[in-house]
Structure 1
Amino acid sequence: MTITLDDAQGVLAAQPFASLVGGRIAAFETGSATLEIPITPALLQQFGVVHGGVLAYSADNALTFAAGSVLGPKVLTSGFTITYLRPATGSLLRAEASVVSATRRQAVCRCEIFSIADGRAPVLCAAAQGAASVVDDIPGS
């Protein structure tokens, strides 16, 4: 089954948490996906930088959307690791994920998360690697 950018955007729009943080699918093609989140005061922690949980969410979702681009729409994250490299500031987070390897039922993906600010080059804030698997019995699907 081929999933289009419109399909991917519809899946994200159906996620209440994605709406809460303002996430959007900016790019989606076979083997890759890009998730963007506007940086707002509600997403910051006590030092004024983006909370690590928001970075982890962006990696989790971008990894799984990239996996879904090759496995189909019924996928869930089966695990991931994230390394925080530097604080995220600016106006936008961009999580760019790509498939490293895939079988019929599982895909391993990597993700780089950048913070974007007007007038400066994107800053790599975190890197993640994870896997997503086909799940035939997703509740509500």
Structure 2
Amino acid sequence: MRVEDAQTLLHDNFAPWVLALKPRISALDQSGATLEIPITPDIARVGNIVCGQALATLADTSMVFACIGHLDAFQPVATTNLETRFLTAARGDLVRCEARVIRAGRALMFAEARLFSDPSGKEVAAASATFFVPPSSN
């Protein structure tokens, strides 16, 4: 799937509050997905630190697109669990999330993500999730 097509899928299928983060898909293929969000006053808290809710949302959304990339097609998936580990404060111009599927079965997909502040490149969070692939999507 082309990045441009994935960006359209994002805008056509995700909730307005997710889109309010201004996510941009910068890479997508069967090995994973990379998404970025700009650091704006809307997602920063005291000290210009990105709030954890924005980081968790970026991680989840990125892992959904890693699933799409792995499947090489848009198929709805449902997050069944999400674990996010905040490592240090996210500051800078944007947050970049690199996600990949680590195992894919018929009904469940397992993914992991790493989040970085740019331009420093410092890893700020990591996440893992399990996604359910509904039977009608197989």
TM-score normalized by the length of structure 1: 0.85
Question: In the TM superposition, what whole-angstrom CA distance separates every residue of 1:49-106 from its partner, at most 9, and x where no partner exists?
Answer: 0001000001110111111222442212221101000000000100100111111232
- Residue identity matched to 1:39: I
Structure 1 residues without counterparts, runs of 5 or longer: none
Q: Which residue of 2 aligns with 1:127?
A: 126
Give the superposed CA RMSD. Answer: 1.8
- Residue identity matched to 1:4: R
Give runs of aligned pairs for residues 48-63 of structure 1, distance below 5 A. Answer: 48-63=48-63
Aligned structure 1 segments of 4 or more residues deviating by more than 3 angstroms: none
- Shift in Å at residue 136 of structure 1? 5.1
Q: Which residue of 1 aligns with 2:8?
A: 10
> How many residues are matched?
133
User: Partners of 1:57 and 1:26 in 2: how far apart?
Assistant: 17
Q: Which residue of 2 aligns with 1:23?
A: 23
Q: Which residue of 1 aligns with 2:81?
A: 79
Tell me if the contact between 2:43 and 2:50 (Cα under 8 Å) persists in the aligned partners: yes
Tell me if the contact between 1:31 and 1:67 (Cα under 8 Å) persists in the aligned partners: no
- Residue identity matched to 1:49: I
Tell me if the contact between 1:96 and 1:111 (Cα under 8 Å) persists in the aligned partners: yes
- Residue identity matched to 2:92: G
